[in-house]
Chain A
Amino acid sequence: MIKFFLMVNKQGQTRLSRYYEHVEINKRTVLEAEVIKNCLSRSKDECSFVEYKDFKLVYRQYAALFIVVGIDQTENEMAVYELIHNFVEVLDKYFSRVSELDVSFSVSEIHLLSLFGVCSSSYCLHSTDCHSSQCRCSPILHLESCSIWTECTSFWMKWC
């Protein structure tokens, strides 16, 4: 079970958050602050899985941006670790070299991506070149219709 998905920068500013279990809004900020504190305190050669309260955090750092996923004890940490990378690969393709600014300026776009279940490799994009389309929502729809994607989409769905 995935409990939440966070994108936080080094300054502790939340760039994106999505909760798969209901958490009250005022508790979210506290949780996010603690989570990022936990991840920031770890050095590069320490492992990417942290135990936090009764669940685990799996995190990955991309430049100044941390992506943190909260999971319960039953989940396979390494699979989630790779899932994060997968997600980033998709963003990278979607924004053609993604940066933190992209993330923060396109909150709704990324939400839509994750809502409609992007979490697969960019390989799926080979067949459908999203840049050729003028329409803003078409990449998402294209992504959605790719077959590889469906696999990960449904993997993602499990956590929703």
Chain B
Amino acid sequence: MSDVVERTLSALPGLLGQHDPGAGPGGAGGPGRVSASSRLGSLIRSITALTSKHEEEKLIQQELTSLKATVSAPSTTLRLMKECMVRLIYCEMLGYESSFGYIHAIKLAQQGNLLEKRVGYLAVSLFLHENHELLLLLVNTVVKDLQSTNLVEVCMALTVVSQIFPREMIPAVLPLIEDKLQHSKEIIRRKAVQALYKFYLIAPNQVQHIHDKFRKALCDRDAGVMAASLHIYLQMIKENSSGYKDLTGSFVTILKQVVGGKLSADFNYHSVPAPWLQIQLLRILGLLGKDDPRTSELMYDVLDESLRRAEINHNITYAILFECVQTIYTIHPKSELLEKAAKCIGKFVLSPKINLKYLGLKALTYVIQQDPNLALQHQMTIIECLDHPDPIIKRETLELLYRITNGQNVIVIVQKMLDYLKEGQEEYAIISLVGKIAELWFIQTMNAVFSVGGDVVHSDIPNNFLRLLAEGFDDEKEDHQLRVYAVQSYLALLEEEDKLYPQKFLQVMSWVLGEYFSLVTDVDPEVILTKLHSLLKKTFVTSETKAWIMAAVTKIASHTSCSKTVDEIIQELSSSLDTCLRQYAFELKHLCEDKALMKSLLPFDASCSDLVVDASLSFLDGFVAEGLAHGAAPYKPHHQRQEEKLSQEKALNFEPYGLSFASSVSSSGVTGRQSPTGLSFGSDISGNSAETGHKETNTLKLEGVRKLWGKEGYLPKKENKTGKENEPQAVPCGSLLAGQVGEAPALRPEQGASLSEEDKEKQQLASTLFIGLGASAGVSLMGKADTATQKFKRKSKITETHAASNFDPLLDTVPDNVEDSEGSVHTGLRKGSPSSSDTVEDNLAFETPQSLRKSVLDDRISANRLSQSSLFADSNIEIFQPSSSAQCESASETPLVPSLPEELEELPHSEVVGLCQSDALALHLCKVWTDDSLLLIVFVSNKTTAALHAVNLVFEETEHFQILESATSHFPVIEAQSVEHCQKCVRMNKVCTQAILPASVSYQSEMETCLEFSVTLSLMDFIRPMEMTTEDFGKLWLSLSNDVKQNIKMSPCQDSLSAALDTLQQKLKLHRVDVIGNEGILACQLLPSVPCLLHCRTHSGMLALWFRSPCAALPDGLLYQCQKVMEES
């Protein structure tokens, strides 16, 4: 490689000779040394000599002023400009903005010679950020340099692109960079891959079509190119590990070669071969092998080898070992490896080197979740680390303890954490630790937490705390004691008149006092009221907290006959300046007049009972009807009003049209008085806001309203949360009372007299910390192993049918092989699918929605062959288990041929393909593309001779898809040898070109069995043509903001525009709106009603596509599909 560069350089001797500024002749020593006499040198010197910040500022401002004059002077040469840029970089580094120079940096990159260009690019990459508007000006320069014949220029351009590039301009350089992947020089290929990695990070959709090329890069003969491609793979596998399982073999092979020292010695760092590359590969393997026994199997050997090889004592090998251990504990476990990894961790933890100890603790923290026994082995070390002088080590240890907390050691661990909390001053540390303690939770502790943590405590914590208290645990008696204890402790805290408490703590106190005051019999409610009253008068109490206090007062008032304090409060607050408090006071006053109502409104301890909220506000029907009868206008939802307002303003419409489609659907559903539920929820806020309360005085004063909102009206948000979050609480509280009394002495075992005092103490601490881990851990470990084997057994039944697995460890054959196996899946499906070749003709006629069909039916017959194959490419059904071979065989066996019900047979639909099957049943799927939705028809056929019971089909909702109505289907009985079917209507919520919809079916035969399968849905399943006139198209076009442009090459056989449009129309279900000269416009919509417009233009063998849509991701997705179909045809 170096010869290439040398040749390039030797081509430029004159150039380089001329421009050698700064470097004093030989005086500077090293090759890169800037002469101390240069302008930068003197600037740096004078700054270093200064003593105060003020002086520095003055000097830099002076410098900036002179620089500003220099760079904007027209006589400034590029050479001088280059020197100025370096000084600007320095000033900006010291924190002084020099934005006036940005544009000149871009100019320098554009106009300078090699050296100047380099500094220009450097300055740009340091000054600008991704979204800076000036960055757009760089694009032309980059494009020019990418096309340059000078390698160095190409290199620079690629480097800059991989550092910083505007997202929206990617299409402009993408084809150029793609070409560079085939460049003969490694360095260019490598940089091109790095640039594509950058693109993948900022706009993954735009590089989707070059995934195959990434595979080529992975197999590149140059290790550097391969290493660069690993970054892309790590990222992609992080997002979707299931899509790259077939590459596991390749990664393993690469790692084997690296570990085995097959790379050139140049890659060694302190005689360790390519350490960072190893780390990268280990991470990838960890992601691939997670929860996947079969894939994990492939990597056991190489992991073992890595562990063995990394035995040199050097930091970098520790780094590799750490990564290795993490991978071993992430993938499907193998006891032999686990043992070795554990030994390795032991070595780390016991090391006297502090950095290594830290690494060991970190590894232990990760590992301990799988195997708590390891903590027992190292308990003495952990205790030592707990008292380590280095707070970082201490904190890491606490993190570890946090993971092993159980019912028996919670007190001690929380105590340790609190000790640390009292020492630590840093805000972030407090927040994270408080979060942990809150989970471990204990009232006394909580009080301390709230006092220390104060208002930086995250608001979830008091909420969770109150929820725990209210919902309680299984033991009724314990709950009672807990609550009494809470009330007592808070009363004691409030005893100190002038103490300042954080607001959140006060809120918690007032809620608890209001809710549970009556549990404490020996305290007069009047006393509590007086305390709350005095709090209300305090100035440091915020009005939010006052609202909480008022809620408590109201609750208490409902249970006392009559109270002087309550009257006083009412009187005082009725004239309060705070409208909210005033309202509370009025409500309280009204309620006090009717004690019976108050009692029923505020029942004791009902915070957990569900509220019945009439969301449709039906009790207001009468009122609304009356209003309508008197000629009032019917209610219009907010968006409709806005729309009307907009349509009245003729001038400019900033609303995207896509929105109006959506709203017109929903607004037609809203006729007159029935308000949608979403809106009526909005009005529970109105209970608090005096403004709206004012407007609707008549209705809101109705007693019925208050009743429905209940006392929760006071705490609407809080209570809602309580109701909704029903997550099971795994918080141990067994030792709660013990903690109250003091640390349970019984927990401390007798120690041998021979131990020194200190050791004894440590032993004791250890026994309290690690109690409960030993025995129960043994059990849980057994349990875990058990489930693992069970899982394995169950799966092995299926995997047995995999006669030959598809993995091929050989590097160079990877791409071909993959295509091969995909191909076999397709053919397998086709053979196995019930609609055999003679029905293909029929199916084809229906495979696009009807609206499109009528226009293209004539062309269709000629295009049959093509569209057939494209259909398969688009909607191939992915099968996880059983494998394709099993599928193929069994599908041909199956006697049950599901067919579509008649009413669906009319609609365009896919072939019926097998999804998965077991001994007892088989699942088939057919996609039906109706005009307004995608229907998935799932056929469940019973293959056995006995009836199957309780068959349940469940689709999981993913971020991409939404199942309308219910995601489950239930068949109580499926008779022997019969077929049942169900249909699901699916929507795409988040645009993606293709994604998996996971699902499972469970049934009862001899035992409960569950089969998992998945359906692959592509964007095209959700795209429908959209009919519109050219005029409408024009209007809509102007209103849409997201656009994507791309040029694609047309193959010679379809070089005319009409041929290209035909392809798009047939395969992508786009509606052809109009064709004018060499331009054509097409429209389609993503269901339910997101439009996407396409403008095509041909010129010199290229097809320029221009998409616009209100949805940002949609054009990207469609572009990808277009590229695909154009390439295919």
A147–B186 alpha-carbon span in the complex (Å): 10
- B355 lies within 8 A of A48 (CB): yes
Q: Which chain B positions have C-beta within 8 A of A50? A: 392
Known: A14-B94, A78-B359, A104-B44. A136 touches B23 (CB 8 A): yes
Q: Which chain B positions have C-beta within 8 A of A46? A: 354, 389-390, 392
Question: Which one of B5, B44, B231, B389 contacts A145 once the chains associate, using CB atoms below 8 Å?
Answer: B5
* B residues 168-217 touching A (CB-CB < 8 Å): 186-187, 190, 194, 197-198
Interface with A: B314-322, B808-816, B973-981, which one? B314-322
Question: Which one of B4, B122, B223, B275 contacts A112 once the chains associate, using CB atoms below 8 Å?
Answer: B122
> Which A-chain residue is minimally distant from B267 (CB atoms)?
A148
Give a binary string over A93-106; 1 marks a CB under 8 Å from any B CB, 0 the rest.
01110000010111
A134–B19 alpha-carbon span in the complex (Å): 12
A79–B269 alpha-carbon span in the complex (Å): 12
Asked if B274 is at the interface of the complex by the 8 Å CB criterion, the answer is: yes
* A residues 31-66 touching B (CB-CB < 8 Å): 45-54
Question: Which one of B126, B270, B319 contacts A111 once the chains associate, using CB atoms below 8 Å?
Answer: B126
- A155 lies within 8 A of B280 (CB): yes
- A77 lies within 8 A of B359 (CB): yes
- A152 lies within 8 A of B276 (CB): yes
Q: Which chain A positions have C-beta within 8 A of B322? A: 76, 78
- A142 lies within 8 A of B2 (CB): yes
Asked if B36 is at the interface of the complex by the 8 Å CB criterion, the answer is: yes
- B187 lies within 8 A of A136 (CB): no
Known: A109-B34, A148-B268. A115 touches B163 (CB 8 A): yes
- A22 lies within 8 A of B129 (CB): yes
Q: Which chain B positions have C-beta within 8 A of A28? A: 95
A53–B279 alpha-carbon span in the complex (Å): 26
* B residues 8-56 touching A (CB-CB < 8 Å): 9, 16, 20, 23, 29-34, 36, 40-41, 44, 47-48
* A residues 114-139 touching B (CB-CB < 8 Å): 115-117, 120-121, 123-124, 127-128, 130-131, 133-139
Asked if B428 is at the interface of the complex by the 8 Å CB criterion, the answer is: yes
Known: A46-B354, A112-B118. A130 touches B31 (CB 8 A): yes
A13–B129 alpha-carbon span in the complex (Å): 24
Known: A81-B355, A146-B2. A94 touches B32 (CB 8 A): yes
Asked if A82 is at the interface of the complex by the 8 Å CB criterion, the answer is: yes
Asked if B92 is at the interface of the complex by the 8 Å CB criterion, the answer is: yes
Question: Which one of B92, B323, B428 contacts A25 once the chains associate, using CB atoms below 8 Å?
Answer: B92
Give a binary string over B80-114; 1 marks a CB under 8 Å from any A CB, 0 the rest.
00000110011011111100000000000000001
Known: A105-B33, A105-B44. A160 touches B162 (CB 8 A): yes
- A147 lies within 8 A of B152 (CB): no
Asked if B670 is at the interface of the complex by the 8 Å CB criterion, the answer is: no
Question: Which one of A48, A102, A150 contacts B223 once the chains associate, using CB atoms below 8 Å?
Answer: A150
Question: Which one of B267, B323, B354 contacts A147 once the chains associate, using CB atoms below 8 Å?
Answer: B267
* B residues 250-308 touching A (CB-CB < 8 Å): 264-270, 274-277, 279-280
- B316 lies within 8 A of A79 (CB): yes
**Most chain B C-beta atoms within 10 Å of own C-beta, residue among A18, A107, A142:** A107
Question: Which one of A26, A78, A108, A138 contacts B86 once the chains associate, using CB atoms below 8 Å?
Answer: A108
> Which A-chain residue is minimally distant from B97 (CB atoms)?
A25
Known: A26-B95, A76-B279. A151 touches B227 (CB 8 A): yes
A52–B745 alpha-carbon span in the complex (Å): 39
Known: A76-B319, A144-B187, A146-B266. A29 touches B95 (CB 8 A): yes
> Which B-chain residue is minimally distant from A122 (CB atoms)?
B269
Asked if B393 is at the interface of the complex by the 8 Å CB criterion, the answer is: yes
What's the least CB distance linking B1011 to chain A, in Å?
A: 35
Known: A28-B95, A94-B32, A148-B266. A79 touches B319 (CB 8 A): yes
What's the least CB distance linking A113 to chain B, in Å?
A: 8
> Which A-chain residue is minimally distant from B224 (CB atoms)?
A150
Question: Which one of A47, A96, A127 contacts B2 once the chains associate, using CB atoms below 8 Å?
Answer: A127
A149–B263 alpha-carbon span in the complex (Å): 13
A127–B268 alpha-carbon span in the complex (Å): 14
Asked if B312 is at the interface of the complex by the 8 Å CB criterion, the answer is: no
- B268 lies within 8 A of A47 (CB): no
A47–B362 alpha-carbon span in the complex (Å): 13
What's the least CB distance linking B273 to chain A, in Å?
A: 9
Asked if B773 is at the interface of the complex by the 8 Å CB criterion, the answer is: no
Known: A108-B89, A135-B16. A142 touches B48 (CB 8 A): no
- B231 lies within 8 A of A151 (CB): no
A78–B1084 alpha-carbon span in the complex (Å): 53
- B48 lies within 8 A of A109 (CB): no
- B30 lies within 8 A of A96 (CB): yes
Asked if B125 is at the interface of the complex by the 8 Å CB criterion, the answer is: yes
Q: Which chain B positions have C-beta within 8 A of A16? A: 93
- B122 lies within 8 A of A111 (CB): yes
- A157 lies within 8 A of B194 (CB): yes
What's the least CB distance linking B60 to chain A, in Å?
A: 12
A150–B1113 alpha-carbon span in the complex (Å): 34
Question: Which one of A53, A95, A102, A147 contacts B264 once the chains associate, using CB atoms below 8 Å?
Answer: A147
What's the least CB distance linking B542 to chain A, in Å?
A: 27
Q: Which chain B positions have C-beta within 8 A of A130? A: 31
Asked if B358 is at the interface of the complex by the 8 Å CB criterion, the answer is: yes
- A141 lies within 8 A of B9 (CB): yes
Asked if B786 is at the interface of the complex by the 8 Å CB criterion, the answer is: no
* B residues 420-445 touching A (CB-CB < 8 Å): 428-429
A140–B311 alpha-carbon span in the complex (Å): 33
> Which B-chain residue is minimally distant from A124 (CB atoms)?
B266
What's the least CB distance linking B1058 to chain A, in Å?
A: 45
Q: Which chain A positions have C-beta within 8 A of B97? A: 25-26
Asked if B1073 is at the interface of the complex by the 8 Å CB criterion, the answer is: no
Known: A17-B93, A54-B428, A120-B269. A78 touches B9 (CB 8 A): no
Asked if B159 is at the interface of the complex by the 8 Å CB criterion, the answer is: yes
A157–B997 alpha-carbon span in the complex (Å): 34
Asked if B546 is at the interface of the complex by the 8 Å CB criterion, the answer is: no
What's the least CB distance linking A77 to chain B, in Å?
A: 7
Q: Which chain A positions have C-beta within 8 A of B187? A: 144-145, 150
What's the least CB distance linking A117 to chain B, in Å?
A: 8
Asked if B528 is at the interface of the complex by the 8 Å CB criterion, the answer is: no
Q: Which chain A positions have C-beta within 8 A of B357? A: 47
> Which B-chain residue is minimally distant from A86 (CB atoms)?
B269
> Which B-chain residue is minimally distant from A102 (CB atoms)?
B33
Q: Which chain B positions have C-beta within 8 A of A96? A: 29-30
- A107 lies within 8 A of B90 (CB): yes
A89–B722 alpha-carbon span in the complex (Å): 58
Q: Which chain A positions have C-beta within 8 A of B245? A: none
What's the least CB distance linking A87 to chain B, in Å?
A: 12
- B224 lies within 8 A of A51 (CB): no
> Which B-chain residue is minimally distant from A123 (CB atoms)?
B268
What's the least CB distance linking A97 to chain B, in Å?
A: 8
Known: A95-B33, A124-B266. A107 touches B231 (CB 8 A): no
Q: Which chain B positions have C-beta within 8 A of A137? A: 16, 114-115, 118
A28–B227 alpha-carbon span in the complex (Å): 32
Q: Which chain A positions have C-beta within 8 A of B122? A: 108, 111-112, 115
Known: A121-B269, A153-B190. 11 other contacts (CB 8 A): A47-B354, A49-B355, A53-B428, A79-B316, A107-B93, A108-B34, A115-B125, A148-B264, A150-B223, A150-B228, A154-B224
Ordered by A's residue number, 23 sampled pairs between the chains whose C-beta atoms are within 8 Å are A16-B93, A28-B95, A53-B428, A76-B279, A76-B322, A77-B359, A78-B315, A78-B359, A95-B29, A105-B44, A115-B125, A124-B266, A133-B31, A137-B115, A145-B2, A145-B5, A147-B223, A148-B264, A148-B269, A150-B190, A152-B276, A155-B227, A155-B280
6 shortest interchain CB distances as A-B pairs: A150-B224, A78-B319, A29-B95, A22-B129, A148-B266, A145-B1
Which residues of B does A touch, CB under 8 Å?
1-2, 4-5, 9, 16, 20, 23, 29-34, 36, 40-41, 44, 47-48, 85-86, 89-90, 92-97, 114-115, 118-119, 122, 125-126, 129-130, 152, 155, 159, 162-163, 186-187, 190, 194, 197-198, 222-225, 227-228, 230-231, 264-270, 274-277, 279-280, 315-316, 318-319, 322-323, 354-355, 357-359, 362, 389-390, 392-393, 395, 428-429
